[in-house]
Amino acid sequence: MIDITVKVDPDRLSDFYTMYAEWLDRAPTGLGDDPGLADWGSNDQEAASYVWSKMHPRARVLVEMLLDANEPVSGSDLAKELGPDAREDTVFGSFGPPAKLAKEVGRKHLIRSRQRHEAPGNEYWLDPQVKSLFQQVRAASPAGEYR
């Protein structure tokens, strides 16, 4: 995998995220998980702490919603947390950097998603193992930590 940098007019940023999200949806591995990456395990506290400490506050807000949720959360509900200008494609784009951090520690993306059946858009959740691990990391982390 390689990093790609592109310049996007600020007025078209949501269009770019929409295009990118549609492209990722067509990828055979869904959210972009590399099949060579390991699943998260109960002994991955150090890796999870690294991801948590490096996670941008905007992404962390969304992950915290998933940590506190008892069921999948719609992309539109997550977007509301980001502000009045955020849309579902903003949510999808916000989950890209945590995926990159997870890859840095050799782990799969911590976020899971699927298209909603009852309404348009996606819903997001954390697998129980990932949820438990990141709840522990969050509890042990100083408030507002971001490096």
pLDDT tens column, 50-107: 999 999 998 999 999 999 999 999 999 999 998 888 888 888 888 989 999 999 999 9
The answer to whether residue 28 is domain-embedded is no
Say if 147 falls within a structural domain: no
For residue 90, the domain's CATH number is 1.10.10.10
Q: Which residues make Cβ contacts (< 8 Å) with residue 1, sequence separation at least 6?
A: 34, 103
Residue 3 inside a domain? The answer is no
Q: For residue 108, with 0-12 CB atoms within 10 Å meaning exposed, 13-18 middle and 19 or more buried, which class applies?
A: buried
CA pseudo-torsion sign 23, 89, 110, 143: positive
In a domain, 128, yes or no: yes
Task: Answer yes or no: are the C-beta atoms of 126 and 136 closer than 8 Å.
Answer: no
- Distance from C-alpha of 53 to C-alpha of 6, rounded to nearest angstrom: 26
Check residues 28 and 43 and name the one with the higher pLDDT.
43
Does residue 61 belong to any structural domain of this protein?
Answer: yes
Q: Is 23 within a domain?
A: no
26-32: long-range pairs with CB below 8 Å, 24+: 30/113, 31/95, 31/99, 31/109, 31/111, 31/112, 31/113, 32/99, 32/109
| Range of the structural domain that residue 88 is part of | 39-140
Owner of token pair 């949720």: 69
**Could you tell me if residue 74 is inside a domain?**
yes
pLDDT band at 29 (very low <50, low <70, confident <90, very high): very low
The per-residue pLDDT for 30 is 40
108 assigned to some structural domain: yes
Q: How many domains, in total, are found in the chain?
A: 1
Taking 90 as the threshold, does the pLDDT of residue 15 lie above it? no
